[in-house]
Amino acid sequence: NVHLATTIDTHTELHLVRPDPGLTHTYSNSTAHNIPEIAVSPSQGKFLSLLTTISSARNVLEIGTLGGYSSICFARALKAAAHNHNHDNGTNDQENEHKNTNGRSPRPKGKVTSIEIDPARRELSIQNLTHANVKVPEEAEVLLGAALDVLPRLGTEIEAGTRERFDFVFVDADWERQWEYFDWGVKLCKGRGSVVYVDNVVRALIEGGFVEGEGRGVGFREDREKEGERGEGLVEKVGRDGRVEAVVMQTVGAKDYDGFLMAVVK
């Protein structure tokens, strides 16, 4: 019941997702430029921010920028984490908030690196990020190109020591390449505890012909390969991947029925 799920999202977002003019502008400016409404919802964006915080991520890699909505969510979380590290002495004492008295060395600023194949969308995302007070490219950079061309380049830069490894990877581009992006994500990660999050895996399973039937007759098609169709999918490959522990969570909300895969590097 999508209508019910949308109503619940509206109610909970009103109370839990703080108004952010930069994010609101990103939606409206994207619509004004005829960008499809396929960005994450406010609740999903908040969820990504919270995941960034609890994973203590510093370098986020995003595949699929669109108008920069999710990039801004990541940048907000990274900025808050750096601020808290540098100004918080572990208490909630208001007086200490702006004193760097905790004796810690300053935390290097975090950064979002996002990849977008469409030049017009990349331009628009830079406009939206800048409007949201995210510094481009210091806090968020948007690389132009097909992800499978850009990712090996990032790998070369990491090997050369000119780029840091990532600790949170958000895959949100073309569904046919989810496994390739996942695999690159794990390769470009720091290591144990790094997170690779792949969006829309449930809809990709359904639209990829992995499921057939409706209602009580629904079944999972294990026989696809025999029929000469698409072989193993993301979930099966991740299941055999000894580098990670992973789970798929099904979701419902204003963005309909879907789900994400989240993997943590071992």
Q: Are 20 and 76 in contact (CB under 8 A)?
A: yes
Minimal CB distance to ligand SAM: which residue? 64
Q: What is the pattern of x (binds ligand SAM, CB under 6 A) and - over residues 167-186?
A: -----xxx------------
**Is position 69 an interface residue for ligand SAM (rule: CB under 6 A)?**
yes
Among 115, 129, 142, 204, binds ligand SAM (CB under 6 A): 115
Instruction: Give me the least distance between CB of 116 and ligand SAM, in Å please.
Output: 5
Nearest to ligand SAM of 38, 218 (CB atom): 38
Q: Are 196 and 244 in contact (CB under 8 A)?
A: yes
**Is position 118 an interface residue for ligand SAM (rule: CB under 6 A)?**
yes
Residues 16-45 that bind ligand SAM (CB under 6 A): 38-40
Helices (H), the chain: 2-16, 21-32, 42-54, 69-87, 119-131, 147-160, 178-188, 201-207, 234-239
- Binding residue count for ligand SAM, defined by CB under 6 A: 17
Q: Are 134 and 125 in contact (CB under 8 A)?
A: no
Q: Report which DSSP code applies to 90.
A: S
CA proximity to 262, closest of 147, 170, 148: 170
Q: Are 171 and 185 in contact (CB under 8 A)?
A: yes
Among 49, 52, 59, 70, binds ligand SAM (CB under 6 A): 70
Stretch that binds ligand SAM, among 65-73, 75-83, 207-215, 224-232 (CB under 6 A): 65-73
Instruction: Give me the least distance between CB of 64 and ligand SAM, in Å please.
Output: 3
**Is position 117 an interface residue for ligand SAM (rule: CB under 6 A)?**
yes
Instruction: Give me the least distance between CB of 61 and ligand SAM, in Å please.
Output: 12
Where do the DSSP E strands lie in the chain?
59-63, 111-116, 140-144, 168-171, 195-198, 211-212, 219-220, 244-251, 258-265
- Specify burial of residue 140 (Cβ count, 10 A radius: 0-12, 13-18, 19+): buried
Among 121, 126, 183, 251, binds ligand SAM (CB under 6 A): 121
Rounded Cα distance between 74 and 52, Å, is 7
Residue with tokens 């026989």: 223
Q: Are 144 and 116 in contact (CB under 8 A)?
A: yes
Instruction: Give me the least distance between CB of 225 and ligand SAM, in Å please.
Output: 25
Rounded Cα distance between 105 and 100, Å, is 10
Instruction: Give me the least distance between CB of 149 and ligand SAM, in Å please.
Output: 8
Residues 44-63 that bind ligand SAM (CB under 6 A): none
Among 57, 75, 124, 147, binds ligand SAM (CB under 6 A): 147
Instruction: Give me the least distance between CB of 243 and ligand SAM, in Å please.
Output: 23
The residue ranges that bind ligand SAM (CB under 6 A) are 38-40, 64, 66, 69-70, 115-118, 121, 146-147, 172-174
